Structure 1
Amino acid sequence: MFKKADGTLTIPTIIFTGLLLATPITALASSGCEVLKGCKKKFCEIEKQLNIATQADQSDKVAGLTKALKEAKSHCTNKGIREELIEEIEEERKEILDDEKDLRRAQKDNKADKVRKYQEKINQKTNRVMQLESELSALD
């Protein structure tokens, strides 16, 4: 069933074996980025996206990610990443303040659907801020 009469493997067997062997490598590549910090993490994440785009034969995306990786490797610094994280945290906090104003207005107007909408946006952005702060503290 797995081998032909001449002893060679069948095509389905070769493909299945290849998939089995490739899966752990993919799993290791995806889990590896989380333990990295700073520029190394950024490179890893771009490389992961690049591998996915390559496997999906998305040539335009491959070209863009290849360029992004080259640029990141040329210009990335942990100080720059720190500054980007701080800027993103500040922007999210400003948006939370705007959403809180909208939430109070919706509460005042007794618009339950809008209250729910703004509360959800605030929760999502608050979670994002906590994630960004965690990334920032991990750079230390």
Structure 2
Amino acid sequence: MRQKKILTIAAATASLLFLVTASYAGTPADCAGKTGCAKKICEIEAQITIAQAHNNTGQVNRLKAELTDVKANCTKSSVKAESAHDNARIDRKIADAKEDMAEASEKMEKAKAQGREDKVLKYQHKIEEKQMKIKHLEEKKGGK
């Protein structure tokens, strides 16, 4: 039973890590050399391609509308303002993840003291997930 629980936690962690990695995959390589509005347009076009590959018509339509809006209204100052807003949001997410990590570390120490290996593993995985999330957020922020 204990081994099954650990395997279930490990499987859930692996799935979550995949989702986190996929959601923070970052900018496609062909957009990396672009800046400002050109980069924003390139990124939206890349997202449209992904949504089309997954037959997500709702997402495709939303992204096409966003692309039309960006092409019509994008300016250097609007990109700068959006980037500053995004960086502030990323900073908040990093702070939240660090707080969650500290809480999990504290709980892990209590579990160690109680000899609860299953809980220790659970909190170790949670800490690793938060570390990965922080790393991806910092990469995302650095790429702006």
- For the aligned pair, the TM-score class normalised by the smaller chain equals 0.5 to 0.7
Partner of 2:66: 68
Amino acid at match of 1:103: S
Deviation at 1:102, TM superposition (A): 2.0
Checking the alignment, whether the CA contact within 8 Å between 2:48 and 2:64 is kept in structure 1 is yes
Partner of 1:132: 140
Partner of 1:3: none
Identity, % of aligned positions: 21
Q: What root-mean-square deviation, in Å, do the aligned CA atoms of Structure 1 and Structure 2 show?
A: 2.5
Partner of 1:95: 97
Checking the alignment, whether the CA contact within 8 Å between 1:39 and 1:81 is kept in structure 2 is no
Task: Give the match's secondary structure for 1:109.
Answer: helix
Deviation at 1:114, TM superposition (A): 1.8
Partner of 2:87: 85
Residues paired across the two proteins, number: 107
Q: Which has the larger radius of gyration?
A: 1
Alignment of 1:1-140 (within 5 A): 30-54=28-52, 58-73=56-71, 74=73, 76-110=78-112, 111-136=119-144
User: If the length of structure 2 is used for normalisation, what is the TM-score?
Assistant: 0.59
Moved more, 51-60 or 91-100: 51-60
Structure 2: gaps (5+ residues): 1-27, 113-118
Structure 1: gaps (5+ residues): 1-29
User: If the length of structure 1 is used for normalisation, what is the TM-score?
Assistant: 0.61
Moved more, 42-51 or 32-41: 32-41
CA distance in 1, matches of 2:84, 2:128: 28
Partner of 2:22: none
Checking the alignment, whether the CA contact within 8 Å between 2:44 and 2:67 is kept in structure 1 is yes
Higher relative contact order (CA 8 A, sep 6+): 2
